[in-house]
A and B are shown apart, each in its own frame.
Chain A
Amino acid sequence: MKSLQERVPGLMPNVAVAFGRSAGPFVVAIVLALVMDLVIAPAAGLTWTKILLDVGIAIVLAGSLNVVNGYAGQFSLGQAGFMLIGAYAAAFLTFYGSMHFISTCPPDAMTPGCFTGKGPTGGFLGSGQLLFLAGCILGGVIASLLGLVVGLPSLRLRGDYLAIVTLGFGEIVRVFGQITARQPKNVEEIQGRSLADLANNLGGAEGFSQIPDYTAAGTGGAMFFVFTFAFILLILIYRLKYSSKGRALLAVRENEIAAEAMGVDTTRAKVVAFVFSAFFAGIGGALYAHQVGAIDPKELGFQKSIDLVIIVVIGGMGSITGVVLGASILVVLPELFREFSEYRMIVYALALIVVMIARPQGVMGVQELWDLAWTRLAWWRKAFVNLRTRPNALAIAAFASSVGSLVAYKVFPVVGLILVLAVGGIVGGVFGRRLSRKHDGSGAGWGSVALLLGIIALLALVLALAEASHAVEVELPLGAGGG
């Protein structure tokens, strides 16, 4: 039989065509990001723009984490550490750097705010935004270098130990952030010192503040930057997954010894995944810092890593669809149900436990939306005809009742609502578990939907109880605008 390399020359595609197919998605991504920035952001209003920006940043962070935790199956709890590094690097450049490289401020108005104030300096892709871009890339590069340093020794460790070590790494970064020197805010002082000299002035325990708001809601270009990076990441992790390199990672996750025996250098594969993930975590951190406007090392510690892990685990470790779904839901829900923020982590914690027991692969598992049987017409034809798919009908009932609950919440009395919710939650959970045991596509699809909505129903149940106790007045800020 012909070897692989013997076949390659005969299968080479036309270079121009290949280039077009490769560049195409990126071009489309940039266009989409522009549309989001110029059309959707103004239409959605500030509140929803902020929510969307949060979703985009979460996609970058969780999507890259998915490469390590999902594809390679290595449990990293230190994503926030890389975020923090990227955040510091980028903010350093945009704050201090702006005073060294950009001189658009009149000498008699030399405040930091003049350099870093609202709106990009120099307009769209002007010097300010370019500096910001450079900052993001710098953040990614430094984070990935650290990823290499940390990953090389650690990725040889077994699952739970790797988790603790990466957790430790995240905490070490946080602590180092807290012992840096104070951040000078005086423009003359900053301009008087070289950048190298300022390297340790990252704010210490007080944090680094007055960061220019390039990615904050309301700033022109914010959506563009965030979603360009988000789309790029999604494209890259798609390409990774459907390639030899990606399959090698999945193989490492499935059966490391067999992967090694088939020629996959497992340590190297894990390290590459880790470095890739760190790079985008650094970028995510940079985006985050410029949205919030300040870096507080205590905010980007273990808790943040856990938030990201939750998205990946519940969404589905190894699924791009899962990460997008997870990021969207786990960012949007807390915003909608803001008054219940004290219960947020409790619900997440319960969700984590329930998912691990009932459906450990998460909502999507390793599958993508297009892998699910119910996205195909043939499945629908069968479902309505075949009586054996009755569990699916119940799953549909769970779906309907859960959605119905959230809507009805506003209208019906609480007691009736609780009943509907409980039914939806239980049915969704139970049948989600049952269906997930099937190996063909039909089970996986509805089980995921049912379970996911079971979780939402649970959330709504907590909400209903709270209202019943008259402890909180509920207002669902579902309207656009506001904020």
Chain B
Amino acid sequence: MSDLLQTLINTLAVGGLYALIALGYTLVYGILRFINFAHSDIVAWGGWVAFTVASGLGFLAGESVFAMPLVMLLTMGICAAMGVTIELLAYRPLRKAPRLNVLITAIGVSLLLQNFGLLDHIPGLSKTQDVFPFGNRPSTMKSLLPNSVLGEIGDVQIRLYDVLMIVLAVVLVVALERLVYKTKLGRAMRAVSFDERTAALMGINVNMVVSVTFAIGSALAAAGGLLFALRNDLRMTADSTWVLLGLKAFVAAVVGGIGNVRGAAAGALLIAFVEVFVHRYVTALVPGSTWVGQLQDVYVFVILIVVLLWRPSGLFGKSTVEKV
């Protein structure tokens, strides 16, 4: 029973992480109708920027209550700015182009972020390895957040990390939901997602809406990256860990209905559920199935393919009809 509870808590925590990242995918897709391939790299950069900020401010050495929130805010801010800049330089010129072109550009941006982060130093400048770029060796940030246990229910430990993740995810999802459905900005975002041209004619500043969307999505992604890096190794930017993380979040967004905030959260929870429960119980129940764990990378694709073929608009999404 306590095992079940622990698994449940894990699910919520993992789901929260996926939700943070999925929201970025879903918001951008809703507005611009394209899959931002580079989103998972913002997640990666989130982790590394946080690391850079934290070590720069000396937080990794000792413990400080202010460390975590400050680092998170700074990281989110920096990455939000990054997201906005990327949109401005790489995606905005292609606003009217076929969607395929933007996809290819996004792949280019993704590669750029990945490989730029791999460099040891920028050519021409003196060795600046301590700060930027990030290099091709993994690092760790665990000391930023104390691995303390907040309480226990029976055998189950309720860790600070899990609570933080869940609370943050819930708060942000709810806040975003309110933003999109109850504010003027949110109305503008929804208008742009329905019909960009008409929204512009109605006086909505489409460019601003798009920039804000990217800023929010990138900030959330950064938070996700930071939280992920706290628990796990901070792998190099081109490592498949980040790609996989982004992919799972993307699938979560699709399953929930891409373009839909609630859908992203629901999808994230579902994906997390499958991942955690399958890993926990199937590996235990089926003897000799160590390969089930290795298939973790793959199952998410299978889910995606099934969803796309059977119910492409996801759980909460709606399909669009092309005019002939």
Residues of chain A whose beta carbon lies under 8 Å from any beta carbon of chain B? 73, 75, 153-154, 156-157, 159-161, 163-165, 168-169, 171-172, 175-176, 178-179, 257, 302, 306, 309, 313, 342-343, 345-346, 348-353, 356-357, 360, 462, 465-466, 468-469, 471
B100 at the interface (CB under 8 A from A): yes
Q: How far is the CB of A208 from chain B (nearest CB, A)?
A: 17
Q: Are A352 and B104 in contact (CB under 8 A)?
A: yes
Q: Are B116 and A360 in contact (CB under 8 A)?
A: no
| Given known A-B contacts A349-B108, A349-B112, A175 and B94 have beta carbons under 8 A apart | no
Judged by DSSP, the binding face of B is helix
**Pairs A–B under 8 Å by Cβ, sample size 26:** A157-B308, A157-B312, A161-B312, A164-B304, A169-B301, A175-B294, A175-B297, A302-B243, A306-B107, A306-B111, A309-B107, A345-B111, A346-B112, A348-B111, A349-B108, A356-B94, A356-B102, A357-B90, A360-B97, A360-B101, A462-B123, A465-B123, A466-B123, A469-B124, A471-B121, A471-B123
**Of A159, A349, A471, which contacts B103 at CB under 8 A?**
A159
Q: Are A353 and B123 in contact (CB under 8 A)?
A: no
Compute how far the CA of A349 lies from the CA of B111 in the bound complex, rounded to whole angstroms.
6
Which single residue of chain A is at the shortest CB-CB distance from B89?
A353
Compute how far the CA of A356 lies from the CA of B105 in the bound complex, rounded to whole angstroms.
6
Residues of chain B whose beta carbon lies under 8 Å from any beta carbon of chain A? 34-35, 90, 93-94, 97, 99-105, 107-112, 114-116, 118-121, 123-125, 243, 250, 291, 294-295, 297-298, 301-302, 304-305, 308-309, 312, 322, 324
B90 contact set on A, CB distance < 8 A: 353, 357
Compute how far the CA of A169 lies from the CA of B99 in the bound complex, rounded to whole angstroms.
22
| Given known A-B contacts A160-B34, A160-B103, A360-B97, A171 and B298 have beta carbons under 8 A apart | yes
Q: Are B250 and A164 in contact (CB under 8 A)?
A: yes
Compute how far the CA of A159 lies from the CA of B121 in the bound complex, rounded to whole angstroms.
37
A179 contact set on B, CB distance < 8 A: 291, 294-295
Number of CB contacts from chain A to chain B under 8 A:
118
Compute how far the CA of A289 lies from the CA of B120 in the bound complex, rounded to whole angstroms.
32
Judged by DSSP, the binding face of A is helix
Q: Are A159 and B100 in contact (CB under 8 A)?
A: yes
Q: Are B111 and A356 in contact (CB under 8 A)?
A: no
Q: Are A353 and B108 in contact (CB under 8 A)?
A: yes
Q: How far is the CB of A177 from chain B (nearest CB, A)?
A: 11
| Given known A-B contacts A165-B305, A349-B111, A466-B124, A356 and B101 have beta carbons under 8 A apart | yes
**Of B99, B105, B111, which contacts A159 at CB under 8 A?**
B99
| Given known A-B contacts A349-B109, A349-B111, A257 and B101 have beta carbons under 8 A apart | no
Q: Are A342 and B118 in contact (CB under 8 A)?
A: yes
A163 contact set on B, CB distance < 8 A: 35, 103
Compute how far the CA of A264 lies from the CA of B105 in the bound complex, rounded to whole angstroms.
30
Q: How far is the CB of A367 from chain B (nearest CB, A)?
A: 18
Q: Are B304 and A168 in contact (CB under 8 A)?
A: yes
B324 contact set on A, CB distance < 8 A: 257
Q: Are B123 and A349 in contact (CB under 8 A)?
A: no
Sample of 7 further A-B pairs with CB below 8 A, known A163-B35, A168-B302, A171-B298: A165-B301, A172-B302, A179-B295, A302-B243, A345-B111, A352-B107, A471-B121
B104 contact set on A, CB distance < 8 A: 75, 309, 313, 352, 356
| Given known A-B contacts A159-B99, A465-B124, A349 and B115 have beta carbons under 8 A apart | yes
Q: Are B309 and A153 in contact (CB under 8 A)?
A: yes
A469 contact set on B, CB distance < 8 A: 123-125
Compute how far the CA of A342 lies from the CA of B304 in the bound complex, rounded to whole angstroms.
33
Q: Are B111 and A175 in contact (CB under 8 A)?
A: no
Q: Which of the listed residues A160, A169, A342, A465 has the most CB atoms from chain B within 10 Å of its own CB?
A: A160
**Of A154, A169, A306, A350, which contacts B112 at CB under 8 A?**
A350
B302 contact set on A, CB distance < 8 A: 168, 172
Compute how far the CA of A169 lies from the CA of B300 in the bound complex, rounded to whole angstroms.
11
The 5 closest A-B pairs by CB, nearest first: A168-B301, A352-B108, A349-B111, A349-B112, A353-B108
Q: How far is the CB of B135 from chain A (nearest CB, A)?
A: 11
Compute how far the CA of A351 lies from the CA of B324 in the bound complex, rounded to whole angstroms.
36
Compute how far the CA of A169 lies from the CA of B305 in the bound complex, rounded to whole angstroms.
9
Which single residue of chain A is at the shortest CB-CB distance from B110?
A349
Compute how far the CA of A179 lies from the CA of B309 in the bound complex, rounded to whole angstroms.
27
Compute how far the CA of A75 lies from the CA of B106 in the bound complex, rounded to whole angstroms.
14
Q: Are A175 and B101 in contact (CB under 8 A)?
A: no
Compute how far the CA of A168 lies from the CA of B104 in the bound complex, rounded to whole angstroms.
17
**Of A153, A156, A352, which contacts B111 at CB under 8 A?**
A352
Compute how far the CA of A156 lies from the CA of B305 in the bound complex, rounded to whole angstroms.
12
Compute how far the CA of A156 lies from the CA of B309 in the bound complex, rounded to whole angstroms.
9
Q: How far is the CB of A311 from chain B (nearest CB, A)?
A: 13
Compute how far the CA of A466 lies from the CA of B114 in the bound complex, rounded to whole angstroms.
20
Q: How far is the CB of B132 from chain A (nearest CB, A)?
A: 15
A154 contact set on B, CB distance < 8 A: 305, 309
Compute how far the CA of A351 lies from the CA of B111 in the bound complex, rounded to whole angstroms.
11
Which single residue of chain B is at the shortest CB-CB distance from A357?
B93
Q: Are B305 and A168 in contact (CB under 8 A)?
A: yes
Q: Are B124 and A468 in contact (CB under 8 A)?
A: yes
Compute how far the CA of A301 lies from the CA of B121 in the bound complex, rounded to whole angstroms.
27
Which single residue of chain B is at the shortest CB-CB distance from A256?
B322
Q: Are B123 and A343 in contact (CB under 8 A)?
A: yes
Q: How far is the CB of A406 from chain B (nearest CB, A)?
A: 18
